[in-house]
Structure 1
Amino acid sequence: MATLDASTRVLASRAGRREWAALGVLSLAVFLVSMDATVLDIAVPHMTQALHPSATQLLWIVDVYSFVLAALLITMGNVGDRIGRRRILLVGAVAFAAASLVAGFAVSPEMLIAARVVQGVAGATLMPATLALIHSTFTVARQRALAIGVWSAVASGGAVAGPVLGGLLLEHFFWGSVFVMNVPVVALIVIAAPMVVVESRNPAPGRLDTVSVGLSVLAMMPLIYAIKETAAHGPSGLSGAAALVGVLAGVVFLRRQRWLAAPLIDVSLFRRPAFTVAVLTNLIAVFAVSGLLYFGAQYLQVVHGMSTLRAGLALAPAMVASGVAALAAAPLMRRYSARTVLVVALSLQVIGAVVMFGVRADGGVALYLVVETLIGIGAGAVLTLTSALVLSAVPGDRAGAASAVTETAYEAGHALGVAILGSVGTAVFHAGVDVSGLPEGPAHDARETIGAAVQVASGVGGDVGARVLASASEAFVSGIHVAAAVSGLASLLMAVLALRLLRR
């Protein structure tokens, strides 16, 4: 009889139509957030022509969204645990739509950066809520694993779908349409979520420590600023001071979490090798894919003259491969172990980085797409595995905060990928453009971005213009090679770490 009762309880807890419909709504939300991290990549040439940002402003426009997301995910995950995860999902969705409208109709780089900041704040309310709601909605282990796989596939697919959908829109509409398209998607989420998503929260959350909130933000922002400014302008007293402030704030934040009754991050979880490897692997995998994707749209459109639609569609195989890898990761982990699958996924990213050295200014488009596919497969598999490992390590009442740790690693990986790899590539580009024979003003513009260099070369014409264009293309590709070397080394080190720590 006890066995029969247990079976009945399991059957009663199995997900039905409403739960799978809820997964669809939650997946739509995470698709929106992850897509917006990359959709601007394909629009960079168009946006550059319209708003004329500097190289530093361009990096901020592309990166500040993920940067703010990473800084606030832990905080918003804890807030959602307290006030209700569905509630914060709906509030964040409305704010996200409003910020998207402002971004779509921005008339200056500063206005666009500000809108992207608000998007990041709103997006930080969505990401941890989706995974935590999946944790509370799917109580059967196998169904939860499948749901996490779907969530991961959609998150990975959204990141790569950004350039594809952006390319389709930019063929027919203005550059801001890549943001305006968020509004009808948010409307669908706001209408459907109350009907199918069941509210959940931590029944005994404790007090939210506002000092820890401030310290977590203070640890992230100065560090990213220091990285960007050092790459763009070289070391300085200001960037050094910013880095020092970020490191000190991070140390104080971690120490504070150890004695709080209700910490933002349970640092004791990092004593578990599986949890630590999951978080770090997530960060490194996304670091590699986002950093190289930042260059992709510019390489295809500016260096090789592809239309936005063709460039977006060229990245579609990487999107499909990433989604398939995310869905396949859970069954592969059951068969071969998480350690094996994680090491293989990271190894694919290392191989992709090596293959990237075959990409050239006068050819190698096919190789570039192979690289994106290899790195996308690795990132897709990693996201599923790390999300499952993190959720399995915590009780259900801390699911939102634990999910936020994973997603913080995800968004921090994206922010650092664009900041570090983008800045490294930009520094190489600055040094490689031949501006001899140009007046001071055009020479400065040509060194800013590859798009600006093409415009200067077109305006100057003749032998000087041809020389500027050729050197800019070569310098841009050299920057990609250096960025690939950095990302490949990071993935290799992470694979070795996973191999050592995940022995059981």
Structure 2
Amino acid sequence: MHDTTSTDTGLRAGRREWLGLAVLVLPTLLVALEINVLFLALPHLSVDLGAGGVQQLWITDIYGFMVAGLVITMGTLGDRIGRRKLLLIGGGAFALLSLPAAYSTSPEMLIATRTLLGIAGATLMPSTLALIVNMFRDDTQRGVAIAVWATCQFAGAALGPVLGGLLLEHFWWGSVFLLAVPLMGVLVLVGPVLLPEHRNRDAGRLDLTSVALSLAAILPITYGIKRLVADTTTTVMPIAALVVGAVCGVVFVRRQLRLDDPLLDLRLLSQRSLSLVLTTLALAGVAMAGTGLLVTQYLQTVLGYSPAESALWFAPMGLAVALGVTLTPVIARSVAPPTAIASGLALSAVGAALLTRLDSTNGLGLTVIAITVLALGTGPLFALGTGIVVGSAPPERAGAAAAMSETSNYFGGTLGLAILGTVGAAIYRHRMADAIPAGMAAEAAQNARESVAGATATAADLPGVDATGLVHAAHDAFASGINAVGLIGGIIFAVLAILIATRLR
């Protein structure tokens, strides 16, 4: 039986803490929904506002950019000024900003409000997790609370596109932003009654130079990776952004190691368990995001489902993570955390391996089974791993530790989109090199080699036999890309399972 250390009844949470957790679930759900709910609304708002291609990219990306760039700063700021105070300020700002976002009259107005929403969103996740750590001092109860928090995070991400689709069937595109108003209204009204305040009274002043350096590192790296994935024809600017971000990142790290009161306490990484779990969270994010990207494209471009239908068939991935997280506290009663995490990662390796069996015809059933098994196995990692990260820091640094966990997972996902997305695209182009019919115009051939959509459009101008052959070749080539990404994901999960089983104590 896995033993817990906090068994004193004086440490055990009561009804107020559990009601407080119910309140903290609201911003957790909101952040997860906000990232994906715009997925289906983008075509509608683009037509209504007249947004061009570049403006559409900024509308979708700027929120995530700001959250990624400021989550470290906000986690540390909460430690200094008070986690409840920062959460309520961020929640109130999110509710107010959602109104101009919903009623935007131009692309520029929506981009500006999405930027401010990203700043407000960055306050929510580290504050909620840090407050959970402070409210639940008993190890077992804290594990259950973190599992509930993580369940809402992943369930919200899975249901975001589905909920967005339902809203768009009955209302205009701005309705997807108005979800925040009632959720944050409850938080602001009830939070002061149910949530305790926690701050580090000995913390020094916020180092604004470190804040600037963290933004100068994270934003260019995030931008560079996203642009490399989105546009393989233009590489100079994305690579330049990556270089600038990397240089600023080195300067940021050196500054943190010199300061007595750093923005991000990198000395915590000297704890082997913390650094191992953060690495595992990041690499699991790589595998999950990369396979998720290819699977959603496969559902639409190869199997021919609409975006709404694809979102519905892809939802089991997020729901399976939520289920795995929910079951983890039960598993942890009889299994030590390293064993639970390693076993789950081994299961994820099996799910990823199933993707190597996909082809262009055996599609939907195997795809849903594969992503469900893959996601289910990550549940113990996200539940117990997050607990290990925030539990490794002293209580006064809980916000900074929560920010480290969020940043690790976010960057893992961003890298997964770039690296595994590039692998899938490269295999597609390689397989399509010999599938182009003789005599095809150079521009048309290039379009067919770039994507399945390009091959389908090109096939529309070809004779029947050539058109059918080109489309089949494109579908087979894309399936080969998924096979390779599934193999890479399986290897990542298998290696992580071994490392956790042998190195985590």
- What band does the TM-score fall into relative to the shorter chain? 0.7 to 0.9
Residues 89 and 129, structure 1, Cα contact 8 Å, conserved in 2: yes
The amino acid that maps onto 1:490 is I
Partner Cα distance (1:483, 1:189) in 2: 41
| Alignment of 1:226 onto 2:224 | yes
Query: Is 1:273 the counterpart of 2:272 in the alignment?
Result: yes
Distance 1:49 1:355 in 2: 39
Alpha-carbon distance in 2 for matches of 1:149, 1:267: 26
SS at match of 1:126: helix
Structure 2 unaligned runs (5+)?
1-5
For the structure 1 residues 474 and 329, does the alpha-carbon distance in structure 2 shift closer, same or farther, using more than 3 Å as the test?
same
Residues 359 and 311 from structure 1, CA distance in 2 versus in 1: closer, same or farther, beyond 3 angstroms? Answer: same
| Alignment partner, residue 32 of structure 2 | 34
**Map 1:29-108 → 2, pairs under 5 A:** 29-41=27-39, 64-97=62-95, 100=98
What's the offset of the Cα at 1:309?
A: 5.2
Q: Deviations over 1:236-269 (max 9, x none)?
A: 5544433332222222222211221111222221
Mapped contact 2:352–2:371 kept (Cα < 8 A): no
2 CA distance for matches of 1:58 and 1:425?
Answer: 24
- The Cα of 1:11 is off from its aligned counterpart by 4.2
Instruction: Verify the 8 A CA contact 1:326 1:384 in the aligned structure 2.
Output: yes
Question: What residue in structure 1 maps to residue 285 of structure 2?
Answer: 286
Deviation, 1:378, is 2.7
Cα gap change, 1:263 to 1:98, in 2 (>3 Å): same
What corresponds to 2:490 in structure 1?
Answer: 488
Counterpart residue number, 1:197: 195
Q: 2:368 matched to which residue of 1?
A: 369
Task: Give the distance between the partners of 1:101 and 1:140, measured in 2 at CA.
Answer: 40
Question: How far 1:146 moved relative to its partner?
Answer: 1.5
Moved more, 275-284 or 181-190: 181-190
Contact 1:133–1:200 (CA<8 Å) still a contact in 2? yes
Residue identity matched to 2:344: A
Query: Displacement of 1:213 after TM fit?
Result: 1.3
Structure 1 CA distance, aligned partners of 2:101 and 2:455?
25
Q: CA offset at residue 126 of structure 1?
A: 0.3
Residue in 1 aligned with 2:205?
207
DSSP-derived class of the 1:362 partner: coil
Mapped partners of 1:438, 1:102: distance in 2: 49
Change (3 A) 1:424 1:36: farther
1:455-474 equivalence runs, <5 A: 456=457, 463=464, 469-470=471-472, 472-474=474-476
Higher relative contact order (CA 8 A, sep 6+): 1
- The letter of the residue matching 1:340 is T
Using the alignment, how far apart are the partners of 1:430 and 1:301 within structure 2?
18
The answer to whether the 8 A contact 2:320-2:375 is kept is: yes
Q: Does the 8 Å CA contact 1:128/1:400 hold for their aligned counterparts? A: yes
Moved more, 304-313 or 157-166: 304-313
1:290 CA displacement = 2.8
Deviation, 1:152, is 1.7
TM-score, normalization: structure 2?
A: 0.83
CA deviation map 1:44-86 (0-9, x unaligned): 77778887875x8877665554443232211100111122212
CA contact (8 A) 1:167 1:309 kept: yes
Q: Would you say 1:119 and 2:117 are equivalent positions? A: yes
Q: Does 1:160 align with 2:137?
A: no
CA–CA separation in structure 2 for the residues paired with 1:485 and 1:176: 40
How do residues 168-207 of structure 1 correspond to structure 2 at under 5 angstroms?
168-173=166-171, 177-207=175-205
2: CA distance between counterparts of 1:383 and 1:426? Answer: 29
User: What residue is the counterpart of 1:415 in the other structure?
Assistant: 414
Q: What's the counterpart of residue 4 of structure 1?
A: none
CA shift digits 1:92-125 (9 cap, x unpaired):
2233345555655678877766554443322211
Are the equivalent residues in 1 in contact too, given 2:228–2:418 (CA < 8 A)? no
Question: Unaligned stretches of 5+ in structure 1?
Answer: 1-6
Conserved in 2, the CA contact under 8 Å of 1:70 and 1:124? yes
State how 1:398-477 maps to structure 2 within 5 Å.
398-426=397-425, 432=432, 456=457, 463=464, 469-470=471-472, 472-477=474-479
In 2 relative to 1, CA 46–487 (structure 1 residues): closer, same or farther, beyond 3 Å?
A: farther
Corresponding residue of 2:22:
24
SS at structure 1 position matched to 2:291: helix
Q: Which amino acid aligns with 2:126?
A: P
Read off the aligned partner of 2:191 and give its amino acid letter. A
Partner Cα separation in structure 2 for residue 143 and residue 391 of structure 1: 14
3-state DSSP class of the match of 2:378? helix
Q: 1:214 to 1:188 in 2, by over 3 A?
A: same
The separation in 2 between residues aligned to 1:206 and 1:269, in whole angstroms, is 18
Quote the RMSD (CA, aligned, Å).
3.7
Write the letter of the residue equivalent to 1:396: P
State the identity as a percent.
39
SS at match of 1:336: coil
TM-aligned CA deviation for residue 299 of structure 1: 3.2
1:221 Cα shift? 2.5
Q: Deviations over 1:287-343 (max 9, x none)?
A: 322333334444334433435554444344434432221123244345332222222
Question: Does structure 1 retain, via aligned residues, the 8 Å contact 2:154–2:319?
Answer: no
Amino acid in structure 1 at the alignment position of 2:497: A
Call closer, same or farther: CA 1:482–1:163 in 2, change over 3 Å: farther
Query: Which residue of the partner structure matches residue 357 of structure 1?
Result: 356
Match of 2:500 in 1: 498
Aligned to 2:258: 259
In 2, distance between residues paired with 1:167 and 1:206? 47
Q: Report what 1:395 is aligned to.
A: 394
> CA 1:42–1:474 in 2, change beyond 3 Å: closer, same or farther?
farther
**How many residues are treated as equivalent by the alignment?**
494
SS at 2:74 equivalent: helix
Q: How far off is 1:404 after superposition?
A: 0.9
Partner of 2:148: 150
Tell which deviates more after alignment, 390-399 or 136-145. 136-145
Deviates more, 1:211-220 or 1:40-49: 40-49
d(CA) in 1 for partners of 2:97, 2:155: 23
What amino acid does structure 2 have at the position aligned with 1:208? Answer: L
Structure 1-normalised TM-score? 0.83
